[in-house]
Amino acid sequence: MMRQLLLFAVALFLFASCGSKEDNGGKKVFRYNQTGGLNSLDPAQARNRASVWATSQIFNGLLELDENMHPTQSIAESYSWDSTETIYTFRLKKNIRFQDDACFPGNTGREVHAEDFVYSFQRILNPKTRSTGAWIFRGKVHPNPDSAFVAIDRYTLQIRLQKKFPPFLEMLTMPYAFVIPKEAIDKYKDDFRAHPVGTGPFQLKEWKEGEKLILSKNEHYWKMDHDGRKLPLIDVVQVSFINDPNQAYNEFVAGKLDFITGLPETAKDLLDKGKVKEEFRKKYNVDKVPYMNTEYIGFQLNVGKYKDTTHPFLKKKFRQALSYAIDRDQIVLSLRNGLGMPGISGITPAALPSFDSVRVKGYTYNLAKARQLLKEIGHEGGKGLPELKLHTYQTDKEIAEFIKKQWSEIGVNVTIESNQFVTHQQMVDEGKVTLFRGSWLGDYPDAENYFAMFYSQNFSPVGPNKTNFVSKEFDRLYDEAQSKDEHDENHLLLYKYYHDMDNLLIEESPVIVLYYDEILRIYNKKLKGLKTNPTNILFLENVDFGDKNEKEGEKKATASK
């Protein structure tokens, strides 16, 4: 009897710890946590990981990235371009429909047509939309939106560029380029942010901001997997919004989440000098791969944002001194247990093929050099400095405190202001802070995406240039790089421009690069089909729980005996 009770208890524990079907009427539920909050489900506002992950479940675009990080067809059945590489033609798949919604007659979604992409792309460029993604088209496509995007017929779309732009197809894989129906905007207007209607594998069921997001399977989704199974394979995506990474990790260990990402403080012991310990791998699936993400500290360089035009942040040597005063090795080794790489080779992360630590030399820890630079500009030992404040977000306090201590060693004292991530991001985008923590998560696998952060035509909030950096030489290099043939042998010519831009940024120091991140994903061993790549986008349409297949495999094995 005692043995039976013990077996029952073990079975109950295993069922509860799996959690994929618990209290959900047998439905397969994938549960993950999102730190930092979520402020919109409109792809026109998909500027951070929270919104990119959520909108990627609800919407599709013309193209998507394949497992090798190359653009491939999504809603587009085929695509081509002319000899000048300025006119792109896309042929759409038929019978792809928007999700059922009250914005359509009879609540029934209709087929997607080329005009829907024309509308979606023109909406991104419309100033009234205030899209943070207008920069992906502005300055690249024909200046007249009616000429830039043309529906040749119901299933044929043409996009016309002003000039050749090599990463254009990669850019079309971004959430900003997802297709939406005009009917939804007409009905919900600004509330479309909370009433998304797309073509994706999941659709919105419930969203209580700051508490939970629930997405349910789109029964009319158009994709099949390689085995001919209708996607998606799970029924529900359930997102919680626990801002404390340590608490989220504890929820995962308790079996209440199926997936987490990042390295919370309480989980640092799972790494030993950057390597995942074997005993941890036995409990969970762990993916650790290079990440298209550069972590940095940014300076606001727009003189108009300062009352005092002699502010030290506007002095290049002061910015350089602060950069020399940071020990990046200690950030990675001590604070992150070896997760990532010290940021000593420019803005381009190590996950990209153009990264070159030989041709691009950034800042290393050198207190003597930092003190010398301060002396040269009259701020020896912190003399004459105004009150300085470093703005960061709540999950970054440990690194911020470390940097504060390091700067104090050269006489530069700062206070730290910490906010919720969404609030912090809004303040940075609107130019309300002058010294801030930032991250650039690559939108597509081309270093051009990182240099777009410093192009003078891309000022935030409608572009990614959050520092308001301006350099005629940098703009020249950026523009010329786009005219070069990216198909030359080993990309040598294009990469030379990239390295020159990176070295110029190191000299001018609009940002202090801290480290190049790595992806750390920890998830339930029963999960199948979860793919990890350097973009760290969460794709769930092929994800399944292995219970059923494993049981069927066990039955077949037993029968063969």
Would 273 be classed as within a structural domain? no
- pLDDT at residue 54 above 90? yes
* 303 and 208 in a common domain: no
Per DSSP (E only), the strands in 426-537 are 435-441, 511-523, 527-528
- Answer whether residue 51 shows pLDDT above 60: yes
Q: Which residues of 439-455 are buried (b: 16+ CB within 10 A; e: fewer)?
A: bbbbbbbbbbbbbbbbb
Lowest mean pLDDT among 206-215, 254-263, 477-486: 477-486
Mean pLDDT along residues 226-233:
95
Q: Is the pLDDT of residue 6 over 90?
A: no
Residue 419's pLDDT is 94
Identity (one letter) of the amino acid at 509?
A: S
Neighbours of 309 (CB within 10 A): 8
Q: What is the pLDDT of residue 431?
A: 95
Query: Quick one: 508 and 531 in the same domain?
Result: no
Q: Give Cα 441 to chain centroid, integer Å.
A: 4
pLDDT band for position 21 (cuts 50, 70, 90): low
The 10s digit of each residue's pLDDT in 318-334 is 999 999 999 999 999 99
Check residues 202 and 8 and name the one with the higher pLDDT. Answer: 202
Q: Is residue 553 part of a domain?
A: no
pLDDT tens-digit profile of 341-391? 999 999 999 999 999 999 999 999 999 999 999 999 999 999 999 999 999
The predicted structure's pLDDT at residue 561: 36
Q: 279 — phi, psi (to 5°)?
A: -65, -30
Cα end-to-end distance, the chain, whole Å: 31
The CATH number that applies at residue 349 is: 3.10.105.10
Distance between CA atoms of 32 and 97, rounded to whole angstroms?
A: 28
Shared domain for 382 and 302, answered yes or no, is yes
Would you state the pLDDT for residue 18? 46
- pLDDT, tens digit (0-9, with 9 covering 90-100), for 65-108: 998 889 999 999 999 999 999 999 999 999 999 999 999 999 99
Q: Which residues share a beta bridge with 521?
A: 261, 287
Per-residue pLDDT averaged across 510-515, rounded? 98
CA distances, 297 to each of 16, 376, 391, 439 (Å): 43, 23, 9, 8
Residue 13: predicted pLDDT:
36
Structure tokens at 147: 């000429």
Query: Does any domain span residue 277?
Result: no
Say if 528 falls within a structural domain: yes
pLDDT at residue number 262: 86
Q: 227 and 135, same structural domain?
A: yes
Using CB atoms within 10 Å of the CB of residue 111, give its burial: 0 to 12 exposed, 13 to 18 middle, 19+ buried.
middle
Q: Are 386 and 474 in a shared domain?
A: yes
How many separate domains does the chain show?
Answer: 2
Q: Answer whether residue 197 is part of any domain.
A: yes
The pLDDT mean for the chain works out to 91
Interval 299-304 mean pLDDT: 97
CA distance 358 to 442: 22
Residues 37 and 140 occupy one common structural domain: yes
The answer to the question of residue 140 being in a domain is yes
Q: Does 557 have pLDDT greater than 60?
A: no
- Do residues 540 and 467 share a domain? no
User: Mean per-residue pLDDT for 246-275?
Assistant: 88
Residue 10 falls inside a structural domain: no
* pLDDT for the residue numbered 558: 39
Tell me, yes or no, whether 162 and 309 share the same domain. Answer: no
When pLDDT is cut at 50, 70 and 90, the band that residue 1 belongs to is very low
Question: 129 lies in which domain range?
Answer: 19-241+524-544
Between 441 and 18, the higher pLDDT residue: 441
* Phi (first) and psi of residue 253, to 5 degrees: -60, -30
Whether the model pTM is above 0.85: yes
- CATH number of the domain within which 159 lies: 3.40.190.10
Is 197 in the same domain as 306? Answer: no
The full length of the chain comes to 561
The residue type found at 96 is: I
pLDDT at 491: 79
Residue 285 lies in a domain: no
Are residues 59 and 159 located together in one domain of the fold? yes
Percent of the chain residues topping a pLDDT of 90: 82
227 in the same domain as 307: no
Q: What is the pLDDT of residues 113-138, one digit of tens each?
A: 999 999 999 999 999 999 999 999 99
**How do residues 474-495 score in pLDDT, each as one tens digit?**
999 999 998 876 555 557 889 9
pLDDT over 80 (residue 3): no
Let me know whether 538 and 506 are in one domain: no
Q: Do residues 381 and 374 lie in contact, with contact meaning Cβ atoms separated by under 8 Å?
A: yes
Residue 437 confidence (pLDDT) above 90: yes
